[in-house]
C-alpha cells in the first residue's frame, strides 16, 4: 500500500483506472532521463525567458475554447485518452468495447510513466503558478501538485505515449493522432501547471520509453491483439 501512495508523487499514476496495470518493465529498467536529458532551464537563461513567454501565451488562451479543452485535459486517465483519441480512430475506446486496445494502453502507459520518475524526483522543479503566485485553470489541483516536480510533465508523457502507441494500431490516422497527443501536452502550459520546457522534455522521455517497451515480447503480443481488434471494429482487412 505504501508504494501505491508514493507513485502519484512522481509522475501521475494510472493506478486509479478500472483495470490494474501490468507494466512491461519496472521503473529502474526504464531509460533514466538524468543520463540523456538536460536539466530544466536556469532562471537567468534564454530558455527560461522562452518558458515565461509561453506561460503568458497560455494565460491568454484560457478565456477561449482552447482554454476549456485545457481544463478538460487536466484529467490524467485512460478514460480521458479514450475521449480524445476515439473520434480519430473512428471507434469507441473503452474497457468494454475494445478490451485489447484498453489493456494495451493501460499497461504500456503505466510503463512509460515510470520513465520520468528520476528527473521529477531529482529536480523537483517548481510549477509556474508557484513561481508567479497566480491561479491556474484548476484550483483544486494546485495544492496536491505543489508536492510534485514539474520537469518533465507527466501528463505530456501520457498523451504523447498514447499517441505513439495508437499510431501503431492505426497508422493510417497517424497525423491526427499525433496532433491530439501534442495538444494534450500543450494544455498543461495553458492551464498553468507546466512550463513549455517541461512539456518538450516529456515528449523526449515518452519517445525513449516507447523505444524501450518495444523490447518487451508481452507488449508486442498485446499490440498484435489490439491491431486485430481495431481492424475488426473498423472493418479493415
Task: Delimit the domains of the chain by residue range.
Answer: 41-234
Q: Does 237 score more than 50 pLDDT?
A: no
Average pLDDT of the residues in 165-193: 98
* Residue of 54, 125, 127, 194 marked catalytic: 194
Query: Residues with Cβ < 8 Å from 122, sequence gap 6 or more?
Result: 34, 149
The pLDDT of residue 236 is 56
Which of 125, 127, 155, 227 is catalytic? The answer is: 155
Q: Is the pLDDT of residue 108 over 90?
A: yes
- Distant-in-sequence, close-in-space partners of 56: CB < 8 Å, separation ≥ 6: none
Residue 102 has pLDDT above 60, yes or no: yes
What count of other Cβ atoms lies within 10 Å of the Cβ of residue 60?
11
Confidence of residue 235 (pLDDT cuts 50, 70, 90): confident
Instruction: State the average pLDDT for the chain.
Output: 92
- Cβ atoms of residues 229 and 98 within 8 Å: yes
Where does the pLDDT of residue 5 fall: very low under 50, low under 70, confident under 90, or very high at 90 and above? Answer: very low
C-alpha cell at 235: 472493418
CB atoms within 10 A of CB 134: 11
Is 188 labeled as catalytic in the residue annotation? yes
The reported pTM is 0.90
Identify whether 203 is a catalytic site residue: no
**Is 155 a residue of the active site?**
yes
Q: How confident is the model at residue 156 (pLDDT cuts 50, 70, 90)?
A: very high
Closest Cα partner for 116 from 144, 154, 158, 150? Answer: 154
Which triple of cell numbers denotes residue 173? 490516422
Summarised one tens digit per residue, pLDDT across range 129-148 is 999 999 999 999 999 999 99
Q: Is 47 a catalytic residue?
A: no
Catalytic residue among 54, 125, 127, 188: 188
Per cent of the chain over pLDDT 90 is 89
Instruction: Name the percent of the chain in helix, strand, coil, to the closest 5.
Output: 70, 0, 30
Q: How many CB atoms lie within 10 A of CB 95?
A: 16
Residue pair 96/13 in contact by the 8 Å Cβ criterion: no
pLDDT-derived band of residue 58, with 50, 70 and 90 as boundaries? very high
What architecture (CATH level 2) is domain 41-234? Up-down Bundle (1.20)
Amino acid at each position: 500500500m505504501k508504494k501505491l501512495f508514493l507513485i502519484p508523487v512522481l509522475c501521475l499514476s494510472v493506478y486509479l483506472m478500472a483495470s490494474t496495470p501490468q507494466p512491461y518493465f519496472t521503473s529502474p529498467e526504464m531509460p533514466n532521463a538524468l543520463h540523456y536529458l538536460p536539466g530544466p532551464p536556469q532562471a537567468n537563461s534564454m530558455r527560461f525567458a522562452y518558458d515565461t513567454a509561453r506561460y503568458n501565451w497560455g494565460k491568454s488562451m484560457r478565456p477561449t475554447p482552447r482554454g476549456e479543452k485545457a481544463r478538460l485535459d487536466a484529467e490524467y486517465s485512460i478514460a480521458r485518452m479514450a475521449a480524445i483519441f476515439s473520434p480519430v480512430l473512428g471507434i469507441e475506446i473503452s474497457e468494454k468495447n475494445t478490451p485489447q486496445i484498453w489493456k494495451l494502453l493501460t499497461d504500456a502507459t503505466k510503463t512509460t510513466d515510470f520513465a520520468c520518475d528520476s528527473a521529477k524526483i531529482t529536480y523537483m522543479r517548481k510549477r509556474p503558478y508557484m513561481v508567479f503566485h497566480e491561479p491556474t485553470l484548476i484550483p483544486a489541483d494546485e495544492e496536491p501538485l505543489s508536492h510534485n516536480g514539474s520537469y518533465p510533465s507527466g501528463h505530456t508523457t501520457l498523451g504523447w505515449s498514447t499517441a505513439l502507441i495508437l499510431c501503431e494500431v492505426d497508422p493510417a490516422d497517424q497525423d491526427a493522432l499525433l496532433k491530439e497527443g501534442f495538444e494534450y501536452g500543450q494544455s498543461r502550459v495553458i492551464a498553468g501547471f507546466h512550463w513549455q520546457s517541461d512539456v518538450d522534455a516529456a515528449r523526449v522521455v515518452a519517445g525513449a520509453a516507447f523505444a524501450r517497451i518495444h523490447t518487451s515480447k508481452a507488449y508486442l503480443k498485446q499490440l498484435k491483439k489490439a491491431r486485430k481488434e481495431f481492424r475488426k471494429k473498423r472493418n479493415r482487412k
